[in-house]
């Protein structure tokens, strides 16, 4: 876990997947997981070459665009 966050005011977790092969197909991704309307949701992005703060901001922005 990288940190806690919020998506549309709901608690969310920002996670970092380990590199492949341990991280599987989401290796090196930043993932945001939250629970809108009682249904789990997540966004997983691979933004290699970007600094971690930018990767986190991008993943949170995509999660916030979800309706």
pLDDT at 67: 76
Predicted TM-score (pTM) of this structure: 0.88
Residue 8 is given by DSSP the state T
> Rounded to whole angstroms, how far apart are CA atoms 45 and 5?
16
Q: Domain coordinates of the chain in residue numbers?
A: 3-65
CA atoms within 13 A on the CB side of 1: 6
| CA–CA separation, 41 and 49 (whole Å) | 26
Pick from 28, 26, 32, 23: nearest CA to 5: 32
Residues 9, 65, 51, 33, Cα dihedral to 10°: 50
Tens digits of per-residue pLDDT, 9-65? 999 999 998 888 888 888 889 999 999 988 999 999 998 889 999 999 999 999 999
């Amino acid at each position: 876990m990288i940190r806690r966050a919020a998506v549309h005011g709901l608690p969310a977790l920002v996670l970092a997947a380990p590199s492949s092969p341990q991280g599987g197909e989401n290796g090196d991704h930043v993932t945001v997981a939250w629970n809108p309307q009682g249904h789990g949701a997540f966004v997983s992005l691979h933004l290699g070459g970007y600094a971690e703060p930018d990767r986190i901001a991008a993943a949170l922005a995509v999660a916030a665009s979800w309706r």
